Every structure is written in structure tokens, then in C-alpha cells.
Structure 1
């Protein structure tokens, strides 16, 4: 298994300018109903100025420091063209750009993980994935596999959970959806401005593969089901996924990103919730450190870390930061 295939698996299993003061108040867009118990109060209650176009951005301020947070949605269409005057202006003032945790994996590590955890991730000798699936799951898996232009041999040796997330990644690639965006786009924008780009941390592949290797047969099937549910969602919304995000339609984005397949799988299995908590805490710590430095920082944070109750923005506010939606 190539290292490039392990990275999406780890990350999956791992979230307008205003009118001038002399004009009438600018229109606002309410984000919808009051937050559910498991949703971020900061995200759900904050209103956002309707213009300019662009994805949701939050301005976090503390002790004179400014942190602009771009909520990242994955996947986005490779061909998506989007513009954000607020992000451009923030980058023009910034000296540092923070991006999500990266999976710590290389070719040597990938081979080591397969050898170390192969017994838990691979089918027993002589067994084939599709032969082991219940009829309903097998039918769904085969249908999506064929849409991804993959044959049965591409997944035959993997346990259901691993195969499900590999298929999700392959399906997105075949559908023209990118799991690297918008982070890769913001990194290019930062590079063009000669800004320092820093990851908020790393996910160790061993932590993810260790959990995957210990899944019970029922957990394996559950994680496969939620992965296939996300494939189905992506297939039905491939033309709107990017548009909703790029236009800052947080109502639609919230509905989709309340809990991804990776989150649903991880929170269902022993050790998974702790891994997700580590990601949120790691990101929050990096944001807190950024607010201790003078000047402006831009951070790209997965919506999966922003939307849950007690997510990154909630924790920053609880620590004394002021959070608004920038209108400049």
C-alpha cells in the first residue's frame, strides 16, 4: 500500500467587505436554529456579513494579537474557483500561516506499518473482502467501487473499515474531488507572499493503525457503512459541496460537517474519541500560542474541529479570546 493511500486514511479516521459607516447596516445571514447540545455555540450563534463572497472566516483576538481562522471543508472539487477578499487581506497582513496536522508517514514507515499491523488490517490468508461482507454491504461496496473505476482486486486483502476509507478516497479522486484542498490552495497563497507556513502538529500513523487493527467484526462493518454513507453523500452533492463552502453557506456546511465518516467511526470504537480529542487539543494549543505573538496569524482549521461543542473556537473563547466575523 502506497504512502499516499495511508495519508487520507489517517486524516479521515483522525473538522465581504462591509458597507461603509455612512450606509445602512449590511445584511446578515443567520446560521439557522440554536445549536444542538453537540454543536459549537460560537459557530452556530455568530452571524456573518453577507458580502464579500468566500468561505467562513472567524477573527479571534486576544491581547492585541489577531488570528484569522478559515474553516476548511474536505473534499473540494479540483476545478473549484473561489475567491475570498477577507482571506486575501488577512494574508497580506499576516506573518504566519498555520495548517492542519499532517500525517507522519513516509515510504519506509508505510512498509513498517503494514508489516507491524498487517494482521489487524488485512484479511486472513485465503479470505477476500467482498466474500466476507453481508449482501447489502457487498452490493453497495461493489456499486461504488465500480463508480470509482476499481476492480475487486484493489481491496480484496483489506479489512472492511480500511477498505471503506480507501474506497472513499478513490471515489473522490475519480469524481474530481480533492482531499488536499483548500489547505494546498492556502499554502500556495502563503508561498506567493513568502509567508512562513507551519503545521499545528502531526498524526502518528501508528496511533490510527493501532486502533484500526483492534476493531471488532461489528466495528469493522459499522465503519464500512459510515464510509459508504459518505461516498453516497459525495456522489449526490459533488456539484454543491464546493459551492456551499465557497459561498460561505454555513447552514448547508454545518448540516454536512457535524460529523464526518471518520469521526463517526472513531467515536464508535475504543480509543477513537481520545484520538479526536488530541487533534482538537493540539489545534487549540497552536492557536493559543499564535495569540501570544504580536501581529497577525492566519490558520486553516478543519471544520470537524470547529463545529462540535467544545471545539477549537469554543475553547479559545472560554480562554478569554473575542471571536467575531471579520467584515473588512
Structure 2
């Protein structure tokens, strides 16, 4: 990833995960702890591991054309092997895979320009005027940071000169790993492997932003900083208080418990960090201030196109857009498409259309 991409939209990117081989899935489960006295502190929830089915698929249809949608989640358990027979069956019939919507930054710069720009890009990761974190925030916030830094980052002195936005991201990444969680549990890589095996092309869904003057963009980033501290504080809150809920959400996704997933609160840490970038002064001149609306428009257009030309398709979409009454799929339903939720959440998918209705993940014994 280009340095300026990291600087401007790290919170919108997801790393590519390794694919997991397919095999017959055994039962995935967690062990419930017995009740404990109120004065005994509770341990963190047990993280699901082993082979898991994940959630069932949403079915979006128009006439005899069907788009099956898998809801993705981050974080997920770090030691799972996701194997969905439902997804494998649908992919084998699909004409394309719509990838999750992403922002795509393109900088107008050549090879030598990259060499000269690289040091500047990494310099933008640091606080202006050589300030350290204790100089850009109040003492109570810095004390919280120090406690979490000791726990998850150790004696990393270099990070003290990073902007809060980037320091928060590094802390969050290490905290997830230490608590048995990962960005996507290998799901995107597994889907890519199955699609390649079946000869199904992947279709990127992107909002493209072309940066004509990368040097000027980096200067603007330094001059009009994003609201680092809002993202920083929300990240500290998430690590201090939300890890049990994040673990429970990750487990609910892994075992296909969509009702539990819908019930559990989201920390909205990512939203705060994305807003910190898109609301900054430089965002408008780069076309980054309306990213959520542009990503939504890009995915809806891609979904409508797939449903118009393919009898069967498959898509990856953040779970929040499937569970939300104002999410992408709800907007397709409002536009006249038929939307059916997986078993265990609403009503079961039917066998309408040319694609045979696959066995749902909720039918797997858990």
C-alpha cells in the first residue's frame, strides 16, 4: 500500500488474509463458565477456535436473478478455520464476486517521485514540531495511554512521537492480537481461494480518488490535522471496556448466531477514526469528505448491475450494512428488490431463482 494511502485512509483498508483449506467441519463451540460470586472478577470471554461455519447468507433477488451476500465482521477470532458449505455451493454457481467497498487512492507520480516522496510520507505520521504524545493531550488521557502501551506495546519509545491517530491504530492492532482476535479471521482469503478454484472473477467495488499533487496533499495533511484525539480516546475506550463485547460479537459471527450479533453493541471505534480523517480540513480538496456516501453509491450500483446481468452472484458486505434498517441491503429492498435474511434471523431463504437454495449455516449443529 502506498504511504499516502496509509496516511489518509488506513481505517478503510483491510489486509488480505490467507485462505484456509476446505474439509468436513466438526462442531465449533465455546465452554460456558459456571456462575461466580459477584465479588470475583470475570475473565475475558473464551474466543471460539477450530473449524466454524460462520453466518448464513442474505438473498437479494429480482425475478430469477439472485445475489447472495455474506456479512463480514472485524475483528474475528484469530484461530478459526472458516468453512461454509453454503458459500462454497453458491460460489460454484456464481458469475462474479463483488468485493467489499473500498476507497482507492491513485497518485499522479512516477517511480523517482515515489523515492523522494517516501520520507515525507513517513514524516507525516509524526506529530508536528517534534512533539510527543504527552505534549498533545491532557494528563489523564496520557496516563490511560501509558497503561495500555505498557500492556500491549512494551517499551516502544518511537511511537511516542507518532500522531495520536496512528498510535491508536497500532495499539488497537496489538490489543486484538493479544486477545486472540484478528482483522477478518481469514474469511476474505478463503473466499478468494474458492472463487479462484471455481474460475469466478472478483469484482472490486471502489470509490476512486485521484491525487494530482501528492506532495501538496501531504502538506495539507500536516497543516490541517484530522481530529486525532477523538479517534484516540475512542480507541482507548474500546480496548479498556469493549474487548469482551468485541469477542462476543466475533464468536457470534463464527457460530452463525445472528440474533446475538444483532443484540450486541458495536464500539463504533472505526467510525470515529474514519470521521477524524473525512472531517479534516484537507479532506474536501481531496474528495474524501463524502466517502461513506460514495462507497454506498458504488456498491449499490455494482449490486444492481450484477442482479441485472447475472442469474447468480455473490457479494461480501460489512455485517452492519445487512443488519441496519438503513443499510445498503435495506435500500435495495426499498427500491423493489426482494431481500430474505438467513435462517435464525428472520425468515428462511427460498429456492426461487435459478440458484438452488443452499443449506444455511444455521443448520449446522453447534
- Fold similarity call, TM over 0.5: yes
Are residue 146 (structure 1) and residue 146 (structure 2) matched?
no
Shift of 1:99: 1.2
Q: Structure 1: state its 5+ residue gaps.
A: 16-51
| Matched position secondary structure for 2:92 | helix
In our comparison, the structure showing a higher alpha carbon Rg is 2
CA shift for structure 1 position 237: 4.6
Equivalent position SS for 1:240 = helix
Structure 1 match to 2:131: 127
- Give the match for residue 59 of structure 1: 59
**Matches of 1:303 and 1:101 in 2, distance apart?**
13
2:168 is the counterpart of 1:158: no
Instruction: Determine the C-alpha separation between the residues in 1 that align with 2:7 and 2:73.
Output: 14
Q: Please give the TM-score of this superposition, normalised by the length of structure 1.
A: 0.72
Change (3 A) 1:74 1:153: same
Change (3 A) 1:225 1:308: farther
**Which ranges of 4 or more aligned residues in structure 1 deviate by more than 6 Å?**
105-111, 205-213
Q: Deviations over 1:117-150 (max 9, x none)?
A: 955x531233112343222222222233233334
C-alpha distance in structure 1 between counterparts of 2:328 and 2:134, whole Å = 39
Equivalent position of 2:295 in the other structure: 279
TM-superposed deviation, 1:300? 0.5
Indicate conservation of the 8 Å contact 2:3/2:118, yes or no.
Answer: no
> How far 1:90 moved relative to its partner?
1.2
Equivalences for residues 40-59 of structure 1 within 5 A: 54-59=54-59
The equivalent of 1:297 in structure 2 is 313
Q: How many residues align?
A: 288
Who is 1:167 aligned against?
171
Q: 1:240 to 1:6 in 2, by over 3 A?
A: farther
Q: TM-score, normalised by structure 2?
A: 0.65
* Separation in structure 2 between the aligned mates of residue 60 and residue 159 of structure 1, nearest angstrom: 43
Write the deviation string for residues 59-104 of structure 1: whole angstroms up to 9, x where unpaired: 0001321100111001212311333332222112112111113454
What SS does the corresponding residue of 1:69 show, helix, strand or coil? strand
Deviates more, 1:168-177 or 1:191-200: 168-177
- Report the Cα distance in structure 2 between the residues aligned to 1:184 and 1:198, rounded to whole angstroms: 15
Matched-pair contact (CA < 8 Å) for 2:130–2:161 = no
Structure 2, unpaired ranges of 5+: 15-51, 342-348, 351-356, 358-366
The equivalent residue for 2:271 is 263
Cα RMSD after superposing both structures: 3.8
Contact kept, 8 Å, 1:5 with 1:166, in 2: the verdict is no
The alpha-carbon distance between structure 1 residues 149 and 165, as it changes in their structure 2 partners (threshold 3 A), is: closer
Equivalent residue for 2:230, pick from 222, 225, 235: 222
Instruction: Measure the CA separation in 2 of the matches of 1:183 and 1:265.
Output: 23
| C-alpha contact (below 8 Å) 2:98/2:316 kept by paired residues | yes
